[in-house]
Amino acid sequence: MRAHDTAKSVVQFHVNGETHEAVIRSADTLLHTLRVQLGLTGAKKSCENGDCGACTVLVNDQPMHACLSLAIETIGQPIKTIEGLMGSPIQETFVDHWAIQCGYCTPGFIVNCHALAEQHPQADDNTIEDWMQSNLCRCTGYQEIKEAVKAVLNQKNQS
């Protein structure tokens, strides 16, 4: 191994409204850093190639697959994980609508759907479908997830 392959830096991340310090290599993914360095295991390690969305987090309020994002590229940017959405309307609505099965993909869906509701509160069915394509679930037919998203959008629009 060359010396630059093992070089590590101590950096700060802004996750869920708090500052966290981590020791990273330039090649470390955001997913690895969140899970291993910061102990935030809600973003799931699954396909590791950006296909499934189980690792979805928000960086600057935009959904990102943490398995494809280098941690070093997110320094100084606000990051939100499923842990930062505890007790949020979208999380509660997913539970109320049984929009879960095994639960492995659920954090990624909740984070992605939270961003959808924030950015497109008037989203129509096509917009919801489009946003949901970045996340896969092997257990459900997506109907409950769509119903949960629509319920959150309805709540948001009635407020």
Q: What is the mean pLDDT of the chain?
A: 93
3-81 and 84-158 agree in CATH topology = no
pLDDT tens by residue, 23-68? 999 999 999 999 999 999 999 999 999 999 999 999 999 999 999 9
User: What CATH number matches the domain at 84-158, 1.10.150.120, 1.10.287.1770, 3.40.50.300, 1.10.10.10?
Assistant: 1.10.150.120
Residue 25 CA neighbour count, 13 Å, CB half: 10
The ranges assigned to domains in the chain are 3-81, 84-158
Q: pTM for the complete prediction?
A: 0.91
CATH top class, domain 3-81: alpha beta
CA distances from 144 to 55, 108, 156 (A): 20, 15, 18
Given a cut of 60, whether residue 85 has pLDDT beyond it is: yes
